[in-house]
Structure 1
Amino acid sequence: MLGWAILFLIIAIVAGIFGFFGIVSAAVGIAKILFVIFLIMFVVSLFVGRRRSY
């Protein structure tokens, strides 16, 4: 999931350099959403992993 977020961030940076501002806003939005989902899944996995280690 983090890899996808980084990929869309790179797409946004490259599109911004070339002046495709519509693509930039879409790619940045997707990267933000994927990064938030990654963070939520990471925190949940931390708590679930700690609970099973008893």
Structure 2
Amino acid sequence: MTWEMDQKIMQKRYYQQGEKSGEMKKSLEIAKTLLKDGMPVEKIARITNLPVEEVAALA
């Protein structure tokens, strides 16, 4: 592999990690709002694709 190819691969991975981080942050914000509205933890987990344990920890 060339240096340029390595750089492109690293940039792509960094971008993907940023996207995932942003998606996770948004899911957590949504989960917090739904918890405040009294929605059950299991339903929030299903909607946000977060683990039930993680949603429960927000409560």
TM-score, normalized by length of structure 1?
A: 0.58
**Paired residue type of 1:36:** G
Question: Where do 5+ consecutive residues of structure 1 fail to align?
Answer: 1-14
After superposition, the C-alpha distances for 1:1-54 in whole angstroms (9 at most, x for unaligned) are xxxxxxxxxxxxxx5xxxx31210010010011011111101000010111122
Task: Name the structure, 1 or 2, with higher relative contact order (CA <8 Å, separation 6+).
Answer: 1
Cα RMSD of the aligned pairs, angstroms, is 1.2
| Structure number with bigger Rg | 2
Instruction: Quote the residue 1:22 is aligned against.
Output: 4
Question: Where do 5+ consecutive residues of structure 2 fail to align?
Answer: 39-59
Whole-angstrom distance in 1 between the partners of 2:33 and 2:19: 21
TM-score, normalized by length of structure 2?
A: 0.54
**Paired residue type of 1:44:** K
**Structure showing the higher helix proportion among its residues:** 1
Instruction: Quote the residue 1:51 is aligned against.
Output: 33
Q: Between Structure 1 and Structure 2, how many residues are aligned? A: 36
The 4+ residue runs of structure 1 with deviation greater than 2 A are: none
Give percent identity, aligned residues only: 6
